[in-house]
Amino acid sequence: MPTKRRSAADSLVQLEKRVNTLFGFLSNLHGPDKLVLKAGKLHALYLMSSESLEDRLLALQRLVFEDPTMTNRPQKHEFAAILDRVEEEIADLVAMKTVEESLDQKIAHKMQERHRDYLRELRREALKEEDGPENSTTLKRLSELELLEKKSLNNSVLSLLRPRSLEEVVGQDRAVHSLKAKMGTPFPQHVLLYGPPGVGKTTVARLVLEEVRKYSHTPYNEEAAFVEVDATTIRWDPREITNPLLGSVHDPIYQGSRRDLAEEGIPEPKLGLVTKAHGGVLFIDEIGELDPILQNKLLKVLEDKRIVFESSYFDEDDPRVPQYIRKLFTEGAPADFILIGATTRDPEDLTPALRSRCAEVFFNPLGQEHIQEIANLAARRLNVKFASGVAELVSRYTIEGRKAVQLVADAYGHSYLRRTNGNGNGKARLTLSKDDIETVVRTNRLSRNSTVQAGQGLEIGCVLGLGVAGFLGSCLEFEAAVFPARDKGKGVLRFNEAAGHMARDSVFNSASVIRRITDKDVYDYDVHVNVIGGGKVDGPSAGLAIVVALASALERLPIPQDIALTGEVTIQAKVKPVGGVSEKIRGAALAGVKRVVIPRENLTEVDRDLFSVVEILPVSSVAEVFALIWPRHAWIQEN
């Protein structure tokens, strides 16, 4: 019996502690003052101060359930159940109060945003009422700018004389057809254009796009853009702070986006040229000069056909981010275009990754007849006549179409000023003479295309070889002199080292070939081989010219000066193929050469149009070359 009484007493103590705890929680929830006021309104104040647990529990019910009509004091066996219901009701009150506080905060934030927008609108209205942001200085500058817009000059001479259709492009029929075949199909290809400067790579690319847009099956629409950029002028930051080619992100902290976005801390993507060229052509001139890292990024865009933007400041869940910015960060920007890259470099100078993704088109150097045609077309556009021999004179000083046009335009200017004294109306038709061209040549300090020219007669020990630099071929003059050595077998073989190690090796190979064919040992003589002008010879292609010069000097056999030779010579007296044969033949034609000797294995590489320009003689051995040059000499036989 004493044990049961202790248990009951303990239970009452625990219940009283729960009641006190709940009163304390209500005091913290509402605050002591508000709790006292609430208890007064609900007639529970005197019950709260009672020493009776029943009274205090009744007061707790009135406060929690907010019901002053509750008058029945709870019985002891009901205490626990009543406290459980009170605790659940308090938990609901706490949850409701938390939600209300969260809503109050959101409402306050929205009200603050609306207040800022309202203040901005008020400022704008105030500016409008005060005649806007303009003042006397800004209005003056606006007036000056509008006056400048009203002034204009006639078209520049280059824009006036630029080809307006593919029919006006001179000397590039094969390249034009090849580019049309790569762009004018339902599945166009990326293209790399190779060729010397001033032959029309950019103009042809633009005109081909204009033509293939008219095809019924074309993937380009009428608004397909031709976006042009020079790789040498592209400046970008590896941190992607700025990248005009691919696009960049202007973060609000570093360099800022629009002012309203910067105030909100929102990054703003800036679209690059790859997106502006979407659906059209991106033309990159001098693409070989493009930064290698930027080239790799460009190749990634070519594969994905999209450009992706990233920024640590972008929050996809931020409701303040405009939809177009959200779309650019989450989906990227379209960049589906055809890349056309032009370069004056050799194909080997470009990265293999870029070349593997692009078709290749080669533009030919322009011949003299092409330059003359371009000069005549420029004269018609300028409404001038050429005196006899003027077009031919122009072709001697340039192999670039652009330079030919500039030379004609400069001569036109000199002639116009001299004959009108600046008082003409510009409509009288002028005649350009050789004197006008020569005036420009002297003023601009121009030099002839080829300092080496083919001769008409015969010479002993002198022969023309062929070289190529870039896409341009040229003639090289080789000469050999032979004198009996003081001591037989102890002769000296001299060669100007400035021509390079490959040319030196060609001299020693030629000495062995001479001994093999003529049965004469060059070391019984003092031999001197020279490249006139000291030109550097890269590669073994000078071997054929050197062996002919040595044979001529040893046998005192004259060589026709209208023939040029190229080819590698082995010590077995065979003639092996070399590179740049078509370019070398064009260079020979430019120097007035009538016949060109080339390795037989190179014959299939020669451009078809060159067969009508010079006589091309393919050979396989040195003996064949000797038979061509000296057909009546008995010692010429193939070993």
Kindly report, residue by residue over 138-196, the tens digit of the pLDDT: 677 778 777 777 766 655 666 677 888 888 888 888 999 999 999 988 999 999 999 88
CB contact at 8 A, 588 and 466: yes
Residues 41 and 111 in one domain: yes
What is the domain range of residue 592? 458-629
Question: Could you tell me which of 560, 368, 591 has the C-alpha nearest to residue 474?
Answer: 591
Average pLDDT, the chain: 82
423-447 per-position pLDDT tens digit: 655 556 788 888 888 888 888 888 8
CATH number at residue 325: 3.40.50.300
> Residue 605 in 3-state DSSP?
helix
Annotated active-site residue 327? The verdict is: no
Question: Could you tell me which of 633, 597, 609, 638 has the C-alpha nearest to residue 172?
Answer: 609
Q: How far apart are CA 497 and CA 580, in angstroms?
A: 24
Residues 202 and 331 in one domain: yes
Which residues, in sequence order, are bridge partners of residue 368? none
Which residues, in sequence order, are bridge partners of residue 477? 464
Q: Is residue 248 part of a domain?
A: yes
> Residue 374 in 3-state DSSP?
helix
Across 425-471, the runs of DSSP E, i.e. the strands, are 430-432, 458-460, 462-469
513-528 per-position pLDDT tens digit: 888 887 788 888 888 8
Q: How far apart are CA 506 and CA 399, in angstroms?
A: 31
Q: Is residue 127 part of a domain?
A: yes
Q: Is residue 582 part of a domain?
A: yes
Confidence band for 499, pLDDT divided at 50, 70 and 90: low
CA distances (Å), origin 390, targets 167, 243, 444, 556:
24, 48, 17, 42
Half-sphere exposure of 453 (CA within 13 A, CB side): 7
Q: Is residue 451 part of a domain?
A: no
**Per mean pLDDT, which of 59-73, 121-135, 295-309 is the most reliable?**
295-309
**Active-site pick, 541, 552, 582, 621:** 541
Q: Considering 399, 418, 444, which residue would you say is the last residue of a domain? A: 444
233-280 per-position pLDDT tens digit: 888 877 767 888 988 887 766 555 555 555 566 788 888 999 999 999
Residues 291 and 397 in one domain: no
Weakest mean pLDDT among 41-50, 296-305, 580-589, 624-633: 41-50
Amino acid at 403: K
Distance of CA 377 to the CA centre of its chain: 33
Residues 129 and 185 in one domain: no
Q: Is residue 390 part of a domain?
A: yes
CB contact at 8 A, 204 and 179: yes
Confidence band for 98, pLDDT divided at 50, 70 and 90: confident
Annotated active-site residue 541? The verdict is: yes
CB contact at 8 A, 415 and 437: no
Residues 503 and 478 in one domain: yes
Q: Considering 147, 176, 199, which residue would you say is the last residue of a domain? A: 147
**Active-site pick, 297, 403, 576, 584:** 584
Across 257-404, the runs of DSSP E, i.e. the strands, are 268-271, 281-285, 306-307, 333-334, 338-343, 359-362, 384-386
CB contact at 8 A, 294 and 232: no
CB contact at 8 A, 452 and 531: no
Q: How far apart are CA 11 and CA 30, in angstroms?
A: 29
Residues 418 and 470 in one domain: no
315-351 per-position pLDDT tens digit: 787 887 888 888 888 888 999 999 999 998 888 888 8
pLDDT confidence of residue 619:
94
pLDDT confidence of residue 339:
94
CATH number at residue 515: 3.30.230.10
Q: Is residue 639 part of a domain?
A: no
Q: Is residue 160 part of a domain?
A: no
Q: Is residue 521 part of a domain?
A: yes
Residues 182 and 123 in one domain: no
Residues 268 and 176 in one domain: yes
Residues 30 and 142 in one domain: yes
Residues 597 and 519 in one domain: yes
Helix (H) or strand (E) holding 110: helix 79-129
Residues 183 and 329 in one domain: yes
Weakest mean pLDDT among 48-57, 304-313, 389-398, 458-467: 48-57
Q: Tally the domains of the chain.
A: 4
> Residue 559 in 3-state DSSP?
strand
Question: Could you tell me which of 296, 156, 148 has the C-alpha nearest to residue 236?
Answer: 296
Residues 606 and 579 in one domain: yes
Close Cβ partners of 280 (under 8 Å, ≥ 6 residues apart): 209, 220, 223, 224, 225, 226, 227, 337, 338
CA quadruple 308, 309, 314, 319: dihedral, nearest 10: -60
Question: Could you tell me which of 459, 485, 486, 465 has the C-alpha nearest to residue 553?
Answer: 459
